[in-house]
Amino acid sequence: MGIVRQEATQKAELEEFRRMLLSCAAVNRRKDGDGFGGGRESAFPGRGGDVLDRMVCVTSGVSYLGIAIVNQLLVNGYSVRIIVDNEEDVERLREMETSGEMRLNNSVVEVVMAKLTKVESLTEAFDGCRGVFHTAAFVDPAGLSGYSKTMADIEVNTSKNVVRACGLSPSVRHCVLTSSLLACIWLDNSSDEAPHLIDHKCWSDEAICANKKLWYALGKLRAEKAAWEIAKANGVKLATICTGLITGSDFYRRNPTPTIAYLKGFQEMYAYGLLATVSIDTLAKAHVRVFEEMKKAAPGRYICFDKVIERGDEVERLAAETGISAASVTGSPSSSSRPRYELSNAKLRQLMLRPRRCVNEL
């Protein structure tokens, strides 16, 4: 996420990244100490074999979601190559390493600068990686806040580039793309044939998104459709995760643009029982589990949420965290009626209940 890299947000992202790396380093030191007995025990399970067999890549790895995915990958035994999009981020991370703030084995974390606007740059960055996690994060080239129609077009093009690069890379086997629940829920509710249950099989209507100027929903929808089309044409094994509104510690300050963009049209989402949220930790774990299941199971779409906002007090809590007007939602006549739709994340829920596969099997 992190679509607009405002200075305060960028500092928060890098500080969180620094804390995460230091935490992993501390785990390494504890495991290497005498307090755990004789031999050296690795902090990362399944570390036998070549480093490249465990190497995966995360685009925009210092964004709010990117940091969480990197953390989950490290905890679960992967080596991670983090893609950043500017030299400033590279230098800051390099300073952490040279100053001793993040003293990790080089086989665990790498930082590479690559442009999401250039397939060749991404192909080179993916070299040697088994999998790619594309968090759909990018920099607004105009330096503007908010999510516009132009940014929706950029979202589509960057996702196309990532999947094309995966197809060109001789090492990449799987790609996990972060989509949005908004790519599933904006349907023509005037039709009697509209489905009551909204799950991973549902797709939003592009015309409705465009007419309502829901640019974030339109960008995610078109980006995911384009990714599937390119993946099929290039033999890329793709999975997409359609996530609800991402929440977590200080989520609005650290992830402002996607949060506000997601909530455009929130009155209607709430009225129809479609305003869903997911914690950042749940979402990051889901990305890793989906990736691990892609070898033995068919790739596909997954809806990810852990809560549907249905009560006035829940709206008020969300309003307090984001600055939206709770009165405009709870006071709507349609909000008191029975929700027309039901959201289902059954496919992902069943996957998450399966025993986790060992890294060495991937």
Distances (CA, A) of 347 to 220, 265, 304: 20, 26, 9
Residues 6+ apart with CB under 8 A from 188: 194, 205, 208
Backbone angles phi, psi at 169, to 5 degrees: -75, 130
- Give the strands of the sheet with 131-134, arranged side by side: 109-113, 79-84, 55-59, 131-134, 174-180, 237-243, 301-304
Residues 6+ apart with CB under 8 A from 346: 199
Give ∠ CA 338-193-330 in degrees, rounded to 5: 25
Q: How far apart are CA 203 and CA 218, in angstroms?
A: 11
Q: What is the distance, to the nearest Å, from the Cα of residue 315 to the centroid of all Cα atoms in its chain?
A: 24
Establish whether 213 is a catalytic residue: no
Residue 92 is encoded by which pair of tokens? 């800051």
Q: How far apart are CA 110 and CA 55, in angstroms?
A: 10
- In the three-class reduction of DSSP (H, G, I as helix; E, B as strand; rest coil), residue 301 is classed as strand
Single out the catalytic residue among 11, 212, 220, 285. Answer: 220
For helices 346-353 and 280-293, the axis angle rounded to 10 degrees is 70
User: Are the beta carbons of 104 and 24 closer than 8 angstroms?
Assistant: yes
Residue 94 is encoded by which pair of tokens? 């390099």
Q: How far apart are CA 47 and CA 36, in angstroms?
A: 18
**Residues forming the active site:** 220
